[in-house]
Chains A and B, each alone.
Chain A
Amino acid sequence: MSFVEYGETIKDGDTAIVFLGHESMFPVKVQHGTVTQTKYGVIRHSTDLIGKKYGSKVTCSKGGWVFILHPTPELWTMNLPHRTQILYSTDISIITMMLELKPGSVVCESGTGSGSLSHALIRTVAPTGHLYTVEFHQQRAEKAREEFREHGVEHLVTVTNQDVCKNGFGVSNIADAVFLDIPSPWEAIGHAKSALKAEGGRICSFSPCIEQVQRTCLAMEEYGFTEINTLEILLRVYNVRTISLQIPDLGKAAEDNSSTGFDSSNPSNQGSLCANLQQGTVQFKSGVPQREMVGHTGYLTFATKS
């Protein structure tokens, strides 16, 4: 396995995702002789995992079962150990498209944080592109390097431990795109411009507060960036439910006993989806929004250097 290439079977040293069901999963590093505890019992790596196909059902000691999944940047994002606040796949998707990333792209990123976006960027620019990521926190930079090594993508990424606002990205005139997720992005716009290729490129800055966005936009304008555009993307997830609503008793049933009032009005075209039960209820499928949803992650400001 690798985060940039699908493998068929689970091998020693792989990072795999254990799927327990209903959004509950966790990553596991596959090692000979190791065991992993789950609420369904023990998984023995040597016998239960290694050599099995990704996507297999694995029966645990207590008779419960889990699925073992091939790692992807998206699954990693949902399961990675947080060292910072992270970017989620909804924002990552629009960032990737708006920065026009593709195989071969050279990208600069700061800060690395927990590496959620980094994995997605690497996946997209592989096998010929490269990610230069800058993290001013030494421990986090170290940890990120270690993860990239474990995930088989170290050849596609360079982690630099310095302050991007003061020292820039450590490269110049080579990037197709720059991404900033730092508290004061306006201080790094100049460095971003010099990191981008002479013939131009795209930039994105992620900020939770509108005041940060304003200062960033002014800085972008000052440095001659064009096509400055700020947007926000929100994800709505729907739960699929079968709902049954009761038919109110308006006393009509007493008048015609043969069939209930509702049923007789449209018996055929409602089909099985809207089966009218004897008790006087109507059933239908609905996409019910989650009771609580993420209302704001951050504003995304995009611009072009040309």
Chain B
Amino acid sequence: RKIIFEKQWFYLDNAIGHIYGTTFEVTSGGNLQPKQEVEETTTETKEAGTDNRNIVDDGKSQKLTHDDIKALKDKGIKGQEIVQQLIENSTTFRDKTEFAQDKYIKKKKKKYEAVITIVKPSTRILSTMYYAREPGKINHLRYDTLAQMLTLGNIHAGSKVLVMETCAGLVLGAVMERMGGYGSIIQMYPGGGPVRAATSCFGFPKLFFDNLHEFPLSKVHSLLSGTFSTDTLPSDPEVEEESNGLTDERHTSLQETEEEPTPEAAMEINQTEEQETIDINDDVEFKENKEKENKENVREKQIKQWERRRKLLEAAALLGEKNADGLIVASKFHPTPLLLSLLEFVAPSRPFVVYCQYKEPLLECYTKLRERGGVINLKLSETWLRNYQVLPDRSHPKLIMSGGGGYLLSGITVVLDKGKSDPSNLEALKMEEPSPKRCKVQDLHC
């Protein structure tokens, strides 16, 4: 399979069998493995100027022309040698300070020595990558903000966590990584099905998906009011919404699989020169799945539909227990209604975290939660992240990131006051809810 990445194209075949973190050099079409570290060419740095008072920008310091350089490239000469040639043909190089020479070489190396490092997918890598490459797809959730969410939400193995996200499945993936397959996750999704393009990049084992449930957001109200039933399922409005109203599972999952490869491919094209490629094997699998699904007959369709209904009932039963250990919200929707409803499913003394790209909706959410009660320790926060260049005598902050990373509202649930009549009434209704539902699940099993 041919992959395009940073204006280079290559095949991954040669990379198989190497350990993660191996660096590769791109040749014409394939991959070749150079040694981990190339000895630095330090021979010519002996001679250096002290300042730039005599360096004039006349545009003629480089004696090689564009055509010369192109010719070198066409001959397939190693990038390293081209850089060497450029240095030798630069009249000002010797007058530059040692630091400037260093910088010059680094810049040229970046351009001519194409190296690719293949690394293992992780939340660190994927969230950094998504923020740099596709911030719009993850609502500009910066990676340090995501890190805060996982900690504030006390995400750990064995929990039962509610996740509502429209971040391409990145937040879901991050939660799954932290839970390591222990405990359960219920993903609330808008529309016809959950988007898990980023989740698939993690390459989680199948086992991790056993306790991953999903529940349509549009059914939350009926579940809370006790009118939820599965009879309405086949004509789910959210499935129709998908595109041309095919109301079966096959259609939904097809959509999902189609979505999968696109963001990945897009990202490969834009990746930074030095690192971070994802395992693409997943893609192949998905392609195969798709073909299979195309051939699948009506009977299988029905089985899938049953399967889906069973999963939905399971998720509904899990929610009905109203004892989730946490709630994570990171979506493009207004957070207030989501929180006011979804917090109903969370047990007391559990943390919740809401992400929003903007501060104002969280201000409102804060006020509404205060009115509702049942929450304490509400905190509206934002993190700033500063990267540093650390080099001998050249240490300084690299860039400041602010604002763009989004805001968080976090807090802890507590038992709601019984003084208010309305909530206690609802409570009674809810108490009766879970049991009939669980019966239905059992019915289906036999």
Interface of A toward B, CB cutoff 8 Å: 4-6, 8, 19, 21, 23, 53-57, 67-70, 72-74, 89-90, 92-94, 96-98, 100, 102-104, 120, 123-124, 126-128, 199-200, 210, 213-214, 217-218, 224, 226-240, 285-287, 299, 301, 304, 306
Given contact pairs A54-B348, A231-B387, a sample of 17 additional A-B residue pairs in the complex whose CB atoms are under 8 Å apart: A55-B350, A69-B412, A69-B414, A73-B154, A74-B152, A89-B151, A89-B152, A94-B385, A97-B127, A103-B156, A200-B20, A213-B388, A230-B387, A231-B385, A238-B359, A286-B363, A306-B19
Whether a CB of chain A sits under 8 angstroms from the CB of B50 is no
Chain A residues positioned under 8 Å from B159 (CB to CB): 6
- Which of A55, A126, A240 contacts B363, CB < 8 Å? A240
Task: Tell whether A102 pairs with B177 under 8 Å between CB atoms, given A214-B395, A237-B380.
Answer: yes
Interface of B is mostly: mixed
Whether a CB of chain A sits under 8 angstroms from the CB of B284 is no
Interface of A is mostly: mixed
- Which of B152, B366, B390 contacts A301, CB < 8 Å? B390
Chain B residues positioned under 8 Å from A89 (CB to CB): 148, 151-152
A283 to B250 alpha-carbon distance, docked (Å): 52
Q: B414–A214 contact, CB under 8 A?
A: no
A287 to B19 alpha-carbon distance, docked (Å): 48
Q: Please give the distance in Å from B186's CB to the nearest CB on chain A.
A: 16
Whether a CB of chain A sits under 8 angstroms from the CB of B413 is yes
- Which of A6, A210, A306 contacts B20, CB < 8 Å? A306
Q: A235–B381 contact, CB under 8 A?
A: yes
Chain A residues positioned under 8 Å from B127 (CB to CB): 97
Could you give 29 example pairs across A and B, Cβ below 8 Å?
A4-B157, A6-B325, A19-B376, A53-B349, A55-B348, A55-B350, A56-B414, A70-B350, A74-B152, A89-B151, A93-B148, A94-B147, A96-B151, A97-B150, A102-B180, A103-B157, A103-B178, A126-B158, A127-B182, A210-B395, A214-B392, A230-B387, A231-B388, A234-B383, A234-B386, A235-B383, A239-B380, A240-B367, A304-B21
Whether a CB of chain A sits under 8 angstroms from the CB of B144 is yes
Taking CB atoms and an 8 Å cut-off, the chain B residues in 277-305 that contact chain A are none
A74 to B388 alpha-carbon distance, docked (Å): 27
Chain A residues positioned under 8 Å from B16 (CB to CB): none
Task: Tell whether A57 pairs with B415 under 8 Å between CB atoms, given A4-B156, A97-B147, A127-B158.
Answer: yes
A66 to B158 alpha-carbon distance, docked (Å): 28
Closest 4 CB pairs of A and B: A55-B348, A103-B180, A306-B21, A55-B349
A17 to B376 alpha-carbon distance, docked (Å): 13
Q: A94–B380 contact, CB under 8 A?
A: no
Q: Please give the distance in Å from B408's CB to the nearest CB on chain A.
A: 10
Chain B residues positioned under 8 Å from A90 (CB to CB): 148, 383
Q: A126–B151 contact, CB under 8 A?
A: no
A5 to B143 alpha-carbon distance, docked (Å): 26
Whether a CB of chain A sits under 8 angstroms from the CB of B192 is no
Q: A96–B413 contact, CB under 8 A?
A: no
Interface of B toward A, CB cutoff 8 Å: 19-22, 36-37, 122-124, 127, 143-144, 146-148, 150-152, 154, 156-159, 177-182, 275, 323, 325, 347-351, 359-360, 362-364, 366-367, 376-377, 379-390, 392, 395, 397, 407, 412-415, 417
Q: A72–B351 contact, CB under 8 A?
A: yes
A11 to B366 alpha-carbon distance, docked (Å): 32
For A53, A103, A126, which residue has the most chain B Cβ atoms within 10 angstroms? A103
Q: B382–A55 contact, CB under 8 A?
A: no
Chain B residues positioned under 8 Å from A232 (CB to CB): 385-386, 388, 397
Q: Which residue of B lies closest to A57 (CB)?
A: B415
A97 to B152 alpha-carbon distance, docked (Å): 13
Chain B residues positioned under 8 Å from A229 (CB to CB): 387
Chain A residues positioned under 8 Å from B21 (CB to CB): 200, 226, 304, 306
Q: Which residue of B lies closest to A67 (CB)?
A: B414
